[in-house]
Amino acid sequence: MRDALRAALAIAGKDLAIEWRTKTALVSSVTFAVLVLAVLYFARDPTAVGAVDVAPGALWVTFTFAAMIGLNRAFLLERENRAMDGIRLAPVSPQAVFFGKLAANLVFVGTVELVSLPLFILFYDVPMVRGLPALAGITAMATLAFVAVGTLLSSMVVRTRFAELMLPLLLLPFLVPPVVGAVQATARILADRPLSEVQGWLKLLAAFDIVFVTISTFLFEATLEE
């Protein structure tokens, strides 16, 4: 168990070190997030729809689309020089590899979210101070949900033709439950309503997290070259 944890941390650390030295994906994802936030601000009739009405949707479209750029890259690293073969040769369980990859992706997507959230508050001028802890919780739950499935799918699509095209096509259906739930919860938080109003959504998010993190962990082995 401790060995598996050490292996997972080593894999996550390696991925993050590579990203930290190049910063290519991080810079692209953050810039992309800012662009999406800006474009979505103008994608409405300003005389009929207030910015705050489109804000929750805009935030989550931004988060998920920016995350997809990072996810696309996660296993591309392992493809170069057939690095995945090296990892497979190491005496490490596939579950540990998956958790390492998942952790690195979560840190990556979390960083993108951390940078774009202040910009979102600034651009959309939303009152946010009191709801911030609740929003952080919702974001953590929804992010875990789609990054877990995204990590699994990313491991498959890098070995197909048209990899960049394939990930959104396969991943978007899996975004429906977490993103709809997150948007509903965010809207309540922005309206300064208690979270008990979205109890059903919170349960759905929690169930989705548990089910999909578990199933992705076990299916990951099937996505590796044998």
Which residues would be at the binding site for other proteins (CB under 8 A)? 149, 152, 156-157, 159-162, 166, 169-170, 172-174, 176-177, 180-181, 184, 200-201, 204, 207-208, 211-212, 215, 219, 222-223, 225-226
Nearest to other proteins of 104, 213 (CB atom) = 213
In the complex with other proteins, the residue whose CB is nearer, 30 or 157, is 157
Alpha-carbon gap, residue 216 to 211, rounded angstroms? 8
Q: With respect to other proteins, which residue has the nearer C-beta, 85 or 125?
A: 85
| Nearest CB to other proteins, comparing residues 132 and 210 | 210
**Structure-token match 């979205």, residue found:** 198
Please answer whether residues 97 and 87 qualify as being in contact, where contact means their C-beta atoms are separated by less than 8 angstroms. yes
Neighbours of 156 (CB within 10 A): 18
Quote the tokens at residue 35: 């662009």
- Which CB sits closer to other proteins, 80 or 226? 226
- Whether 32 and 69 have beta carbons less than 8 Å apart is answered as yes
The whole-angstrom separation of Cα 168 and Cα 217 is: 20
In the three-class reduction of DSSP (H, G, I as helix; E, B as strand; rest coil), residue 44 is classed as: coil
Distance CA 164, CA 166 (A): 6
Whole-angstrom Cα distance, residue 142 to residue 146? Answer: 7
Tell me the closest approach of the beta carbon of residue 98 to other proteins, in angstroms: 13
**Smallest separation, CB 188 to other proteins (Å):** 13
